Amino acid sequence: MEAIVYTSNTGHTAEYAKILGEKTGLPVYALSGAQKQLSSGTEIIYLGWLFANGIKGYKKAAKKYKISAICAVGLCDTGTALDEVRKANALSEEIPLFTMQGGMDKTKLRGINKFMINMLTKGIDSKKDRTEEDERMLYLLKNDKNYVSEDNTSAFMEWYCKQ
Ligand SMILES: Cc1cc2nc3c(=O)[nH]c(=O)nc-3n(C[C@H](O)[C@H](O)[C@H](O)COP(=O)(O)O)c2cc1C
C-alpha cells in the first residue's frame, strides 16, 4: 500500500485520513488532487463519506487505483452497516471494509446534501410512534457533533498491521 486517498465534504473523513496517515506513515491525498501525484494502478487505501449508503468517490477512485481496503465514514456507529454499504456499492466480500463514525456539521452542508438531511430530520420528527432507533437518528441529525476518534480506527489498524 502506497497512499491514503480520501473524499470528504464537511471534514470528518479528512480527519480520519490524517489520523490514518499518521498511524501508518503513508502519504495522504484528497481524491480531487491525487491524480497529479499518484499514477494509475497505485495501491491505495480509500476513505469516503457515506451518502445514502454509497461511498462518495469510490467508483472514481476504483477506476484509477488498486484499492486494498475501504473506510466508509458516516453517522452510523463504527463497525456497523457493513452489509448495507457492501451491497449499495457492489463490493465483493474480498475487499476489506471498515465503517467509522464521523459526525454531522450542518453549518457546512449546502444544496442537495442540506436538503436531504432536512427532509430526513423532518420525516423522523413528524413520526408519531418513534422507535429507539428513530430517536437516536434524530439526535444524531439534530445535534452537530464530531465523533471522530482514534479508537474508531482500531479495527482498521488491526487489519493493517497484519498486512
Ligand atoms: C445527504 C447525506 C446523506 C447521508 N447518508 C448517510 C448514510 O447513508 N449513512 C451514514 O451512516 N451516514 C450518512 N450521512 C452522514 C455523513 O456520512 C456524515 O455526516 C459524515 O461524517 C460526513 O463526512 P465528511 O465530514 O467527511 O463529509 C449522510 C449525510 C448527508 C449529508
What pLDDT is stored for residue 134 in this prediction? 96
SS (H, E, C) 36-85: HHCCCCCEEEEEEEEECCEECCHHHHHHHCEEEEEEEEECCCCCCCHHHH
Spatial CB neighbours of 124, under 8 Å, sequence gap ≥ 6: 130, 134, 137, 138, 141
Instruction: Report the distance separating Cα 80 and Cα 59, nearest Å.
Output: 22
pTM of the model: 0.97
How far separated are the first and last CA of the chain, in Å rounded?
9
CA of 105 to the centre of ligand 1 (A): 10
What pLDDT is stored for residue 16 in this prediction? 99
Q: Is the dihedral of CA 101, 106, 111, 112 positive or negative?
A: positive
Cβ of 82 less than 6 Å from ligand 1? no
What is the position in ligand 1's atom list of the atom closest to the CA of 116?
Answer: 1
pLDDT along the chain (163 residues), means of 10: 97 98 98 93 98 98 98 98 98 97 98 98 96 96 98 98 97
Domains and CATH numbers, the chain: 3-103+146-161 (3.40.50.360), 105-145 (no CATH)
What pLDDT is stored for residue 9 in this prediction? 98
For cell 489520523, the residue is 19
Cβ of 8 less than 6 Å from ligand 1? yes
What pLDDT is stored for residue 35 in this prediction? 85
Instruction: Report which of 22, 18, 26 is spatially closest to residue 43, judged by C-alpha positions.
Output: 26
Rg (CA), the chain: 16
Is the CB of residue 44 less than 8 Å from the CB of residue 5? Answer: yes
